[in-house]
Structure 1
Amino acid sequence: MKGLKVHPGGRHMIYPFGMKVAVVHMDTKAHRYLEGHTNVITTVAVSKSGRFVAAGQVNHMGFKAPVFVWDFESGEVKMSHESHKVRVENVAFSSCERYVISLGGKDDANVCVFDIETKDAICGVRSLLIMPQNRLIVGSGEGLVEYVGQKAFKPTNKVEKGTGISNPTTPLFVVLKGVCVGGLVTSMQLMNDRSLIVGTIKCEMFIIDIESFTAHLYLTCHTTAVFAIAFPSDYSDVFATASKNDVRVWSVSKSRELLRISVPNFTCSCLTFTYDGRSIVTGWNDGTVRGFTPQSGKLIYTIEDAHNKGVSALDLTKDGRTLMTGGQGGQIRVWCIRKDVQKLIAVLKEHKGPVSSLQISPNDLEAASASTDGSCIIWDLVKCVRIAIMFSTTLFLCIRFHPSGCQLLTTGTNRQIAYWETFDGALIREIEGSRSAALNTLDISSDGVYVASGGNDQYVKLWLYKEGIPIYIGLGHGAVITAVSISPDGRTIVSASADGAIFIWRSPTDPETKTESKTTVSTPHSQQSKEKLPVSKEKSRTPSRARLAKLKFSDSHSSKCEREEKSYFSTKHTFWKHYFFSSKESVGSKNESDVKKELAKACRGMESVKGKLEKIKAEREAAELASVKNEDSCDEDQGGGGDSKMCGKYSPVSPRLV
């Protein structure tokens, strides 16, 4: 029988009895049992004074094997831990009875030391570097990196009576310098004589200056899957990511972490910036919505129990006053957000499965939600009712509005990117987004020209929205892509995967890149045309006076027309702004007559500018027609041969169109 022990008091016998530890009084034969294990006990140990009893067990393959420590007198469990796999081979106590040591079986091969009083693991040396002059650099499991030297020690063979023998585990090193890197040290490597690079279990790399022994964070990423990426409105140098235990804010230009907001033991599944950029609103798997400041990470407000089974999607209106959240239970809830109070407005119960994606339309009047039950719903955000519903034989994973608000894009497990009409929810067309795997996420550029997608095939693809064809494919991810986002200026694409990696891509559609490429191509082309094209023997011809007058008139009218177009669209934007916001604020804040006056004023301004624009266009057409007639008459007067010096062929091109 393995584990048969006699208590140091000499009156009790201790041995394993199935899933219990039996304590038998040797005189009275009285039995009592120490309980807690769930499988057969493999080993038992008793401390030096008999104060504690420890035992380990075996478990099924793939499961942890626990170790229990009991108080011998009371039979209460003092501590337990599950650090070994499948089997605990042996347990023992230290001579001071403060620590318990356990040895794992062949499937584990680890030795664990735990403090009984604090119930914490005592981590030992994880990495070691030998330095010159009998110095060492030691990395520990507690996150300490220490530069140590050897103590002055004079060994002697003489043992004086009564002094005893020194403890052989007493360290013979002294710590010269030290720094904490915040996580278990997994590896260390010297870069040069002055720098040391350290890796931790938290997926972080530190560079330590050996002289000053100060640590600088060099590289970091999430330790688990990234579930969401968000850019602030009209600002492309910063983005935020959501993952387990924290939300992080990153710099695009410097490719480094700016802020970390930690909420231990919970997972952030979705997040978004407010339109003014003053807060980050996040949804968590504990059913809570939390708002933070993006500068300091300070908690602004908390909505407890927003959803029973966790928040899976959310979005905000541009004014930041209406929040829409979706949950794992299938419900969508609309909230009124204020600085001091957050109030529930409506509960929408249409989906039968978890809400996987949610977005509010650009005009803040409608919203669209996607669910894994195979349905997408368009909602009236003002009346909080359903407008249209779309069905498909897929698990919808993402839904996005086109910037115009007229169409919707969806993706799912059927590997298709579907185009939908916002007005009635009709399917327009479907394109194959991947040949082999599901598409998990997509995003549309702010100008509506490009679409970025990512899925289980680990490819980031850039599409043309109208044509529905991929023009670029990004390779590099080593796991399933879980999120992708295009920056507001269209110059950057950020993607994240299930292994915690974040990729920042330079968009091939960057306007600056396009300008450079145009300049680079046009110059050789013009030189080639000058050098290689045959020169005509005919004399070069200059444009006629009528043609020059036409060009001058066309250019002046072009600039004037541009100004009127800008004025027209600016007035039109003002009209729609008055329409949307006045109609929303008319209840309780303004009278209906005041709202009608504002709308009528905006309409009159728009009609006035539109009339001016049409008048200028008509004048331009008449002037062009008159100049053409004058040129024809000039050609007839000069012989009509078309070879004269004054009235040769000339192709006018407006400078703003080049």
Structure 2
Amino acid sequence: MSTPNNQQQERLDNLQRLELESTIGFEGKIPNGLKLHPDRIHMIYPLGCNLVIENLQTRQQEFLLGHNNNISCLTISNNGKYIASGQVTFMGFKADIIVWDYATRDPYARLVLHKVKIEDLAFTCTDRFLVSLGGQDDGAIIVWNMETKEPVCGSAAQHKSAGITYCLATSKEDEFQFYSAGSGTLRFWQLDVGNRKIRPTDINTGIVKRIVKCMTVSLDGTFLYCGTTTGDILMIYIPACQFKTIGPEKKKYSMGISAMQALINGDVLIGTGEGKIHITEKETFKSFKTLQATGSITSLALRGEGHMIFIGTDRSHIYKVNYADWKMELINTCHNSPINDIAFPFGTSELFGTCSYQDIRIWHAPTGNELLRITEANKTCNSLCFTRDGKMIISGWDDGRIRAFYPETGREIFTINDAHNRGVTAVTVTNDCRRIISGGGEGMIRIWQINPKSREILATMKEHKNAVVAIRINKSDTECVTASLDGTCIIWNLKRFARTQVLFENTLFQCVAYHPEEYHILTGGSDRKVAYWEAVNGTQIRELEASKSGTINGLDIDSVGNYFVTVSGDKLVKLWRYNEGDVFGIGIGHGSEVKKVKICPNTQHIVSVSADGSVFRWKFPKSTA
């Protein structure tokens, strides 16, 4: 495995790509990240490095892959022909804007000039030009011609004395006029194509100093509304470039205005940082209709004339509001903090469970619908598993308790208090469903007997010096292997409750798995290697370099033992052939560190979960061998 870096890159390009079948997730923290296509049946939103186009009627998803880092903004042309998306990248590197052809779902142009981050994008009213705004390390506005795919001109977005510019808006009638606003800056821009110049006009707001985070232009094109972090709205009269008014005078909107849209009747729809949406009167900006969502509102998208409103929040919820009867309905939800574990019930690939901060969720795999949510306020679930008979969900929590729930209702069956004193970090159940084996943050392994009315402790095994991160049991319930952050994996005899073998490695182990025939054990950890061990005597047989950068966080072997899959901190999902020890397929698309992975029991799909709370479902490739 001692290939040079460029060869490794070449090999990544030649490998078979894992096909992404569906995702559960929504990147809610991106301002105006949720958009509705003018065809009215598709919503578009970013998820990591992917753009997801989801059909609102069939919930079928398509993916636009092209960015090599997380997407930071997107916009759709007025005629719906193009989608433009911008990304973030590392300091000193150029950040790409990709313009996608909506009809073919292929990249139409890749525009590269800005550095580090694209803050906002906007198409002019005729869709002839695209205006892009760089982030705080770039600070430039560039106008691009969509026909030639070339930049027309560019300029610094603000005075040297002003703060960061955050948002753009374009005129409703004049294709050569657009607006920018941010911290202490509010400008009208005129595009002079002949001389290749953009000329700014600063709007004087007098003594009013505000940070503008969102803007919208009234549908008749005469007023520009700017939402501020203070919780009020600035109104600018566009023909005279004049600051007209600021409101509401008394009751400011709590936690600032984070999204806004002008409605067809002249009212302004706003979303606030505390999760409320308001419809406000056009002159005074007083609220006369309001609704409450969960999390701060980052996107408001109108369908058609605005008879339906779609709302995205930073808690990764998407809501639908019918304007006529003013009712709110949750249509999409997912975890919004790192997912710590994933488990399939024995023998079924239809359902799986994930656990995260505050909750456990059970998902229907084919549709991505959430079937059940079990919530424990302010506690983190570190590990979960289903009993083999499917009658219980066993979970380990950071408050040191093991909790069991009914999978149908989510009602609690029992709790084992003070199971471990530094949180329960790993938990599993024997195949006869009579015993729970748990590992804690202090390194203890405890075995619990499940009786009809009570739970009793059978044994405590103290060998590990640090947190236990994974426990696997063999099929006959006679031995188990535990992986720990102290650099050891221990094979325990479950009849004598004593250790039989110990595997030492200079690494923080993160994951461990038995080969289905149980003669090998696979481990992965912070040294970025996957190691094969002999289960009988604990000797290492083989070591593969599984990642160029980033810890191996999870691995899983298929039911036959021909393939295994690894996920790591480098955001990649890799499928390996077991005997050959080479990469067979690679899944690119996660936007942050991938935490865990499972191959579903029927070996049709691979499900991976990541630190941004998203769940990706990949097709298991048909063997070409």
Tell me if TM exceeds 0.5: yes
Partner of 2:156: none
Partner of 1:356: 469
Q: Which whole-Å deviations, capped at 9, do the CAs of 1:24-47 have from their partners, x for residues lacking one?
A: xxxxxxxxxxxxxxxxxxxxxxxx
Q: Secondary structure at the match of 1:207?
A: strand
Matched, 1:336 2:449: yes
1:274-313 equivalences under 5 Å are 274-313=387-426
CA contact (8 A) 1:400 1:410 kept: yes
1:54-69 equivalences under 5 Å are none
Question: Structure 2: how far apart are the matches of 1:443 and 1:333?
Answer: 24
Matched, 1:257 2:364: no
Q: Which whole-Å deviations, capped at 9, do the CAs of 1:410-467 have from their partners, x for residues lacking one?
A: 0111121111111121222112212333211100111221101011111100111121
Matched, 1:415 2:528: yes
Partner of 1:576: none
Question: Structure 2: how far apart are the matches of 1:459 and 1:149?
Answer: 49
1:32-47 equivalences under 5 Å are none
Rg bigger for which structure?
1
1:578-657 equivalences under 5 Å are none
Going from structure 1 to structure 2, the CA distance change for 1:146 and 1:295 (only over 3 Å counts) comes to farther
Matched, 1:181 2:181: no
- Partner residue of 1:368 out of 475, 481, 485: 481
CA contact (8 A) 2:279 2:287 kept: no
CA contact (8 A) 1:227 1:483 kept: yes
CA contact (8 A) 2:231 2:256 kept: no
CA contact (8 A) 2:254 2:272 kept: no
Q: Secondary structure at the match of 2:524?
A: strand
Per-residue deviation, 1:313: 0.7
Q: Secondary structure at the match of 1:490?
A: coil
Q: Secondary structure at the match of 1:223?
A: coil
Question: Structure 1: how far apart are the matches of 2:343 and 2:475?
Answer: 16
Partner of 1:493: 606
- Residue identity in the other structure for 2:551: A
- Residue identity in the other structure for 2:525: G
Per-residue deviation, 1:346: 0.5
CA contact (8 A) 1:458 1:481 kept: yes
- Residue identity in the other structure for 2:364: S
Per-residue deviation, 1:335: 0.5
Matched, 1:327 2:443: no
Matched, 1:238 2:351: yes
Per-residue deviation, 1:266: 1.1
CA contact (8 A) 2:262 2:269 kept: yes
Moved more, 182-191 or 138-147: 138-147
Looking at both structures, which has the greater relative contact order when contacts are Cα pairs under 8 Å and sequence separation is at least 6? 2
Question: Structure 2: how far apart are the matches of 1:318 and 1:144?
Answer: 48
Matched, 1:137 2:269: yes
CA contact (8 A) 1:249 1:258 kept: yes
CA contact (8 A) 1:360 1:367 kept: yes
Per-residue deviation, 1:365: 1.1
Question: Structure 1: how far apart are the matches of 2:388 and 2:524?
Answer: 26
CA contact (8 A) 1:269 1:312 kept: yes
How many equivalent residue pairs? Answer: 382
Question: Structure 1: how far apart are the matches of 2:546 and 2:589?
Answer: 18
Per-residue deviation, 1:138: 3.7
Partner of 2:220: none
- Partner residue of 2:334 out of 221, 240, 247: 221
Question: Structure 2: how far apart are the matches of 1:354 and 1:225?
Answer: 19
CA contact (8 A) 1:353 1:373 kept: yes
Question: Structure 2: how far apart are the matches of 1:266 and 1:349?
Answer: 26
Question: Structure 1: how far apart are the matches of 2:491 and 2:210?
Answer: 57
Question: Structure 2: how far apart are the matches of 1:508 and 1:191?
Answer: 38
Matched, 1:206 2:206: no
- Residue identity in the other structure for 2:261: L
Question: Structure 2: how far apart are the matches of 1:332 and 1:280?
Answer: 20
CA contact (8 A) 1:362 1:404 kept: no
Q: Which whole-Å deviations, capped at 9, do the CAs of 1:152-182 have from their partners, x for residues lacking one?
A: xxxxxxxxxxxxxxxx99x474x3xx54333
Per-residue deviation, 1:125: 4.8
CA contact (8 A) 2:567 2:595 kept: yes
Q: Which whole-Å deviations, capped at 9, do the CAs of 1:489-525 have from their partners, x for residues lacking one?
A: 001111111121211111113xxxx6xx99xxxxxxx
Partner of 1:190: 302
Question: Structure 2: how far apart are the matches of 1:406 and 1:372?
Answer: 24
Matched, 1:267 2:380: yes
Per-residue deviation, 1:406: 1.8
Question: Structure 2: how far apart are the matches of 1:179 and 1:318?
Answer: 49
Matched, 1:317 2:409: no
TM-score (norm 2): 0.57
1:458-607 equivalences under 5 Å are 458-509=571-622
Matched, 1:127 2:239: no
Per-residue deviation, 1:141: 4.1
Could you say what the CA RMSD is over the residues aligned between the two structures, in angstroms? 2.8
Question: Structure 1: how far apart are the matches of 2:608 and 2:403?
Answer: 24
Q: Secondary structure at the match of 1:499?
A: coil
- Residue identity in the other structure for 1:301: F
CA contact (8 A) 1:314 1:359 kept: no
- Residue identity in the other structure for 2:264: P
Question: Structure 2: how far apart are the matches of 1:241 and 1:353?
Answer: 25
Q: Secondary structure at the match of 2:598?
A: strand
Q: Which whole-Å deviations, capped at 9, do the CAs of 1:241-298 have from their partners, x for residues lacking one?
A: 1111111111111022222111111111110011111221111111111111222211
Partner of 1:70: none
Q: Secondary structure at the match of 2:491?
A: strand
Q: Secondary structure at the match of 2:277?
A: strand
Q: Secondary structure at the match of 1:479?
A: coil
- Residue identity in the other structure for 1:131: L
Q: Which whole-Å deviations, capped at 9, do the CAs of 1:557-596 have from their partners, x for residues lacking one?
A: xxxxxxxxxxxxxxxxxxxxxxxxxxxxxxxxxxxxxxxx
Going from structure 1 to structure 2, the CA distance change for 1:105 and 1:131 (only over 3 Å counts) comes to closer
Instruction: Give 1 or 2: higher strand fraction.
Output: 2
Question: Structure 2: how far apart are the matches of 1:130 and 1:276?
Answer: 55
Q: Which whole-Å deviations, capped at 9, do the CAs of 1:209-254 have from their partners, x for residues lacking one?
A: 3233333333322111111110110000111111111111111110
Per-residue deviation, 1:306: 0.6
Partner of 2:500: 387
Going from structure 1 to structure 2, the CA distance change for 1:191 and 1:398 (only over 3 Å counts) comes to same
Going from structure 1 to structure 2, the CA distance change for 1:498 and 1:147 (only over 3 Å counts) comes to same
Going from structure 1 to structure 2, the CA distance change for 1:235 and 1:123 (only over 3 Å counts) comes to same
Q: Which runs of 5+ in 2 are unaligned?
A: 1-208, 214-227, 233-252
Question: Structure 1: how far apart are the matches of 2:272 and 2:591?
Answer: 30
Per-residue deviation, 1:142: 4.3
Q: Which runs of 5+ in 1 are unaligned?
A: 1-103, 114-120, 152-167, 519-658
Q: Percent of aligned positions with the same letter in both sequences?
A: 38
Per-residue deviation, 1:147: 4.4
Instruction: Give 1 or 2: higher helix fraction.
Output: 1
